[in-house]
Structure 1
Amino acid sequence: MPKIAADGEYLTVLNLFATDAPEKQDSLLGAMREIVDSAAYPGWISSTVHAGQEKPGTANFIQWRSTEDLEARYAGEEFKHRTMPLFTEITTSIRLLQNDVTFTQQKPELGGVTEISPGRDDYTVIEIFGVAQENQDDLVDALGPSQDWLLEVPGYRTHTVLRGLRARGLDGSFVVTYAQWNDKESYDAFRAVSETERSAARQKTDARVAALATSHDWNTYRVVHTRSAGE
């Protein structure tokens, strides 16, 4: 089962595919499973496929040994002439995001480990924040260490902050958060708290994020498939 750690060991890639219909999401998931199950690329470590919940789409959380290994995959004939044309046909947007994991936080009972697997029942939230390059470090801090108050929120499990390095399908600098919750109900309740009823700590970090972020997009997911090199 893949683990997320801010140890600099892997390049983390988030491939986010949006579509406009549930049946197209099913087609995307089928194609992604096929690719993951046959993956044997030099430097590939693991892939974990997520099915969109709030909106149709998919996410693939991928760990690579290095940027060079990933770019070799992108330069391959299969990727250019089979994979991308197939995905382009059934999606409304494709974002291939290369990232560095900079921060992880977990409820104490999780033992300091963030795991991703279809064997778990996490309700996963992925958010993408646009940011001016000169403000990226500040946004990473606002979304990470400054949100220790989340540990007291009912239903919260973990969250990870990823600093965007480079991307295809997304312009400018960015930061990504990957969060795990007990269920949809607890996450919806968290989002539904009015601004005036939020804790002072939450209001402070919300205001800081709003001042730094130039754009914001999100979706919720369930992990449906994973495979690691050597399996």
Structure 2
Amino acid sequence: MPFINPENGYLTVINLFRTDAPENVDRLVSEMRAIVDTAAFPGWISSTVHRGQDEPGTANFIQWRGKEDLESRYAGDEFKHRTVPVFHEITTFMRLMQTEVELSLRHPDQGDVTEISPDRDDYTVIEILGVAPADQSELIAVLGSAYDWLVDVPGYRSQSVLRGIRSRSPGGGGDLAAVGTDNDFVVVYSQWDGKESYDAFRAPAGDEPPVARRKSQDKRNALVTATDVNTYRVVHTRSASESALA
């Protein structure tokens, strides 16, 4: 199963898809599963398909050996003339984001590494945070420091922070157009034990949040220029064989 680990050095690509028709989510998942199940691209490590919960859509968490392998995939006729047209037909939004894992922290009862798998029952949250490129490293540090209080939040399982490198969207001819500028976003991938815990975390009732949490959130809010968030369940995953990686 795939793991989120800053030490593996993989290029992590997070592809977000949305549709305005909930029934199209089934087709999105089906099309993504078909690509994942036949993947044999040079440098491809793993793909994990997520089904949207709060909003209709999907996310694919993909690990690559490096940028050259990814660009080779994007330059291929199959991607340009089959994959992109299919997703244009059934989506209203596509964003392909290159990232690198900066940190991945877990509640102590979650073991030594962050695993993503349909065999787990995680309620997964993916946040795309806009940030000025000059402030990106500071935002990552602020997000990392949140572990000090997150570990005591009921239902929290893990939080991984990924540095945004480049974001693109496919055009009608299959070519990719830049979205924003390089290094202008950060991805937060978090796992919870369920919707109830996550909703309670987002909108706590009663007393004002503890000082450490409030300060952390204030610093985050001061740096973030835009927020895009959806919740997911992992529905499918596949990794390259060890022999293919040799």
Check whether TM > 0.5: yes
CA distance in 1, matches of 2:185, 2:5: 19
**TM-score normalised to structure 2 length:** 0.91
CA distance in 1, matches of 2:205, 2:98: 34
The answer to whether 1:188 aligns with 2:199 is: yes
Per-residue CA deviations over 1:114-138 (Å, capped at 9, x if unaligned) read 0000000000000001111100001
- Paired residue secondary structure (2:121): coil
Query: Contact (CA 8 Å) 1:103, 1:145: kept in 2 or not?
Result: no
Per-residue CA deviations over 1:45-98 (Å, capped at 9, x if unaligned) read 000000000000000000000000000000000000010111111111101000
Residue identity opposite 1:223 in structure 2: V
* Structure 2 residue ranges without an equivalent (≥5): 170-178
Residue identity opposite 1:224 in structure 2: V
The answer to whether 1:7 aligns with 2:16 is: no
**C-alpha deviation, 1:202, in angstroms:** 1.2
**Structure 2 equivalent of residue 20 of structure 1:** 20
**Structure 2 equivalent of residue 56 of structure 1:** 56
**C-alpha deviation, 1:8, in angstroms:** 4.6
Residue identity opposite 2:93 in structure 1: S
Q: For 1:173-184, list aligned pairs within 5 A.
A: 173-184=184-195
Residue identity opposite 1:163 in structure 2: R
Q: 2:180 aligns with which of 171, 175, 178?
A: 171
The 4+ residue runs of structure 1 with deviation greater than 4 A are: none
* Structure 1 residue ranges without an equivalent (≥5): none
Please tell me the root mean square deviation across aligned C-alpha atoms, in Å: 1.3
Residue identity opposite 2:180 in structure 1: D
Q: 2:235 aligns with which of 218, 221, 224?
A: 224
**Structure 2 equivalent of residue 211 of structure 1:** 222
Query: Contact (CA 8 Å) 1:140, 1:163: kept in 2 or not?
Result: yes
Per-residue CA deviations over 1:151-173 (Å, capped at 9, x if unaligned) read 00000000100000111033131
Query: Contact (CA 8 Å) 1:29, 1:58: kept in 2 or not?
Result: yes
**Structure 2 equivalent of residue 38 of structure 1:** 38
**TM-score normalised to structure 1 length:** 0.97
**Structure 1 equivalent of residue 175 of structure 2:** none
Query: Contact (CA 8 Å) 2:105, 2:147: kept in 1 or not?
Result: no
**Structure 1 equivalent of residue 176 of structure 2:** none
The answer to whether 1:151 aligns with 2:151 is: yes
Pair 153,10 (structure 1): closer, same or farther in 2 beyond 3 Å: same
Per-residue CA deviations over 1:136-193 (Å, capped at 9, x if unaligned) read 0011111123432100000000010000011103313100000000001100111111
- The percentage of aligned residue pairs carrying the same residue is 61
Which shows bigger deviation, 129-138 or 165-174? 165-174
CA distance in 2, matches of 1:201, 1:147: 10
